């Protein structure tokens, strides 16, 4: 099959005004994620300054998936009841999903992508909590999990003809996702595109690395723990049936990554239980049906 985008993939990504600059609210949320001194009031102030995001978050926390007996009317109330971490994750996830929209032509692929990305954020969040006291550099793992496939969102939104061809190679010819992307995108993959974008957004180098190398951390001489965590989360979500866009996505993870994050059967069982509890919410958020 001829390459659909023969030249200038990187230049075309960098030229995208719609995604090359982060919205101010998302920039501030990411700053709070990276600031150990940030407080619940800081988060509530940032979210409260964006009326649309406030409505989406309140719509989510008042949905049946949380099942509160009284209505939560303000963001500060949501922070008190759900906790800083949960509201921060909701705000980040909702902001990213709405930033990329829902192209009708790629609706099915995008729904699967967001379900998988949200699930990976839950898994990396579990790993983050598990390792926080021993490896403080794990901070931000839930962000890495959410954004690890962001390159696929760029392809679906900005290069829908490429996405169609990639999916055809996967479904009809048995290509792996990355091999199909290399065939269509002049040797590039969603990992490359996502890493370029994360660098353009000035995200921490560890998150950029985790996006670029989450399929093959062992090819790095000294992978960051975020890269190990994202690699494991991606494989576990595939194993649990929450795949992105490829029904044959790999379900195995590298032993070195499992060792680096201290993965054992107890932690896997905890992760699976947490995912089961949140499957409904994850699916609803991926389609925007709870806000």
Count the residues in the chain: 291
Residue 201 lies in a domain: yes
- Within 10 angstroms of residue 107's Cβ, the number of other Cβ atoms is 12
Closest CA to 227 of 108, 144, 135: 144
Q: How far apart are CA 180 and CA 178, in angstroms?
A: 5
Is the Cβ–Cβ distance between 274 and 145 less than 8 Å?
A: no
pLDDT at 101: 67
* H or E segment and range at residue 223: none
pLDDT tens per residue across span 118-134: 999 999 999 999 999 99
DSSP 101: -
| Residue 87 within a domain | no
**Would 207 be classed as within a structural domain?**
yes
Structural domain contains residue 90? no
Tokens 């600031």 belong to residue: 35
Q: Which domain holds residue 275?
A: 9-20+106-287
**pLDDT value of position 20:** 67
* Six-digit token string for 168: 């055809």
- Assess if residue 221 is contained within a domain: yes
HEC string of 30-67 equals HHHHHCCCCCHHHHHHHHHCCHHHHHHHHHHHCCCCCC
**Cβ atoms within 10 Å, residue 7:** 9
Check: CB of residue 95 under 8 Å from CB of residue 26: yes
Alpha carbon 76 to its chain's center? 25
Q: Within a 10 A sphere around the Cβ of 230, how many other Cβ atoms? A: 34
Residue 78 within a domain: no
Would you call 8 exposed, middle or buried from its count of C-beta atoms within 10 A (0-12, 13-18, 19+)?
exposed
DSSP state of 163: H
CATH number of the domain that 231 lies in? Answer: 1.10.3210.10
DSSP state of 288: T
In a domain, 121, yes or no: yes
Q: Is residue 153 part of a domain?
A: yes
> Low-confidence residues of the chain, pLDDT below 70?
1-8, 10, 14-18, 20, 101-106, 247-248
Instruction: For residue range 197-255, list pLDDT tens digits in order.
Output: 899 888 999 999 999 999 999 999 999 999 999 999 999 999 999 988 776 677 899 99
pTM for the whole thing?
A: 0.91
Q: What is the DSSP letter of 218?
A: G
Which CA distances in Å does 115 have to 53, 205, 244, 280?
19, 25, 7, 10
Q: How many domains does the chain have?
A: 1
Asked if residue 120 lies in contact with residue 128, where contact means CB atoms within 8 angstroms, the answer is no
Query: What token pair was written down for 94?
Result: 């909702």
């Amino acid at each position: 099959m001829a390459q659909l985008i023969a030249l200038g993939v990187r230049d075309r990504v960098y030229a995208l005004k719609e995604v090359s600059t982060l919205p101010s609210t998302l920039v501030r949320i990411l700053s709070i994620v990276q600031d150990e001194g940030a407080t619940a009031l800081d988060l509530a102030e940032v979210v409260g300054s964006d009326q649309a995001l406030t409505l989406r978050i309140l719509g989510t926390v008042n949905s049946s998936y949380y099942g509160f007996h009284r209505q939560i009317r303000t963001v500060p109330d949501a922070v008190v009841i759900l906790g800083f971490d949960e509201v921060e994750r909701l705000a980040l996830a909702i902001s990213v999903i709405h930033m990329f929209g829902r192209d009708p032509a790629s609706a099915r692929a995008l729904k699967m992508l967001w379900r998988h990305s949200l699930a990976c954020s839950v898994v990396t969040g579990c790993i983050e909590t598990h390792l926080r006291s021993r490896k403080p550099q794990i901070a931000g793992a839930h962000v890495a999990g959410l954004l690890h496939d962001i390159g696929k969102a760029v392809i679906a939104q900005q290069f829908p003809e490429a996405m169609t061809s990639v999916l055809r190679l996967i479904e009809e010819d048995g290509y792996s996702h990355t091999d199909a992307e290399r065939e269509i995108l002049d040797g590039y993959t969603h990992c490359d595109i996502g890493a370029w974008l994360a660098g353009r957004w000035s995200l921490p180098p560890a998150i950029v690395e985790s996006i670029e190398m989450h399929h093959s951390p062992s090819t790095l001489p000294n992978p960051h723990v975020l890269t190990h965590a994202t690699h494991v989360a991606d494989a576990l979500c595939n194993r649990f049936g929450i795949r992105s866009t490829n029904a044959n996505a790999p379900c195995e993870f590298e032993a070195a990554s499992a060792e680096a994050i201290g993965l054992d059967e107890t932690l896997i069982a905890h992760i699976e239980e947490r995912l089961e509890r949140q499957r409904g919410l994850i699916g609803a958020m991926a389609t925007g049906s709870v806000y």
